[in-house]
Amino acid sequence: MATTRRKPLSRERILAAALELVDEQGIDALSMRKLGQALGGYEAMSLYNHVANKDDLLDGILDLVLAEMEPPDPAGGLASIRSSSISAHEALARHPWAAGLLMSPTRIRPSRLQFMNALLAALRGAGFSAETTYTAYHVLDAHIIGFSLWQSTHGSLPADIDLENMRPFLDRMLPPDRYPHLHEHGMQHLEDGPHRDVRTFEYALDLFLEGLERAR
Amino acid sequence: MATTRRKPLSRERILAAALELVDEQGIDALSMRKLGQALGGYEAMSLYNHVANKDDLLDGILDLVLAEMEPPDPAGGLASIRSSSISAHEALARHPWAAGLLMSPTRIRPSRLQFMNALLAALRGAGFSAETTYTAYHVLDAHIIGFSLWQSTHGSLPADIDLENMRPFLDRMLPPDRYPHLHEHGMQHLEDGPHRDVRTFEYALDLFLEGLERAR
DNA sequence: CGCCGTAAGTTTACAGTGTAAGATGACATA
DNA sequence: TATGTCATCTTACACTGTAAACTTACGGCG
Residue A53 has a pLDDT of: 97
- The whole-number Å distance from A44's CA to D7's C1' is 13
Residue B106 approaches strand D within 7 Å at CB:
no
State the smallest CA–CA distance between residue A207 and chain B in angstroms: 7
Residue A8 approaches strand D within 7 Å at CB:
yes
Q: What is the residue-level pLDDT of chain A in tens, covering all 216 positions?
A: 343 468 899 999 999 999 999 999 999 999 999 999 999 999 999 999 999 999 999 999 999 999 999 999 999 999 999 999 999 999 999 999 999 899 887 788 999 999 999 999 999 999 999 989 998 998 999 899 989 988 887 766 655 666 677 889 899 999 999 999 999 999 988 887 777 888 889 988 998 898 888 887
Q: Do B100 and A105 touch (CB under 8 A)?
A: no
Residue A94 phi/psi, 5-degree rounding, is: -70, -30
B206 to A26, A128, A146, B91: CA distances (angstroms)? 36, 19, 17, 19
Residue A166 has a pLDDT of: 82
Residue B157 has a pLDDT of: 60
Residue A5 has a pLDDT of: 61
- The whole-number Å distance from B63's CA to D27's C1' is 35
Per run of 10 residues, the mean pLDDT along chain B (length 216 residues) is 67 98 96 97 97 98 98 97 98 95 87 97 96 91 90 69 78 95 91 80 90 84
The burial class, CB within 10 Å (0-12 / 13-18 / 19+), for B130 is: middle
B79 touches chain A (CB under 8 A): no
How much is the mean pLDDT over chain B? 91
B85 to A73, B73, B198: CA distances (angstroms)? 34, 12, 12
Interval B138-171: pLDDT, tens: 899 989 998 998 888 776 666 566 667 788 989 9
Q: Which helix H or strand E contains B77, and what residues bound it?
A: helix B77-94
Determine the Cα–Cα distance for residues B105 and B113; give it in Å rounded to an integer. 13
Chain C nucleotides with an atom closer than 7 Å to a protein C-beta:
7-12, 16-22, 26-27
**Alpha-helical runs (H) found in chain A:** 2-5, 11-25, 32-38, 54-66, 77-94, 97-102, 110-125, 130-155, 166-173, 180-215
Residues 130-189 of B with CB under 8 A from A: 130, 133-135, 137-139, 141-147, 149-150, 152-154, 156, 173-174, 178-182, 184-185, 188
Determine the Cα–Cα distance for residues A186 and B145; give it in Å rounded to an integer. 20
Residue A2 has a pLDDT of: 40
Residue B207 has a pLDDT of: 87
Residue B155 has a pLDDT of: 66
Chain B CB contacts of A182 under 8 Å are: 113, 116-117, 120
The burial class, CB within 10 Å (0-12 / 13-18 / 19+), for B159 is: exposed
Task: Give me the sign of the Cα torsion angle B6, B11, B13, B18.
Answer: positive
Interval B88-100: pLDDT, tens: 999 999 999 999 8
Chain A CB contacts of B135 under 8 Å are: 200, 203-204
Residue A26 region by backbone torsions, left for phi larger than 0, else alpha for psi between -120 and 50, else beta: left
Chain B CB contacts of A180 under 8 Å are: 117, 121
Residue A6 has a pLDDT of: 83
Determine the Cα–Cα distance for residues B47 and A42; give it in Å rounded to an integer. 39
Residue B197 has a pLDDT of: 83
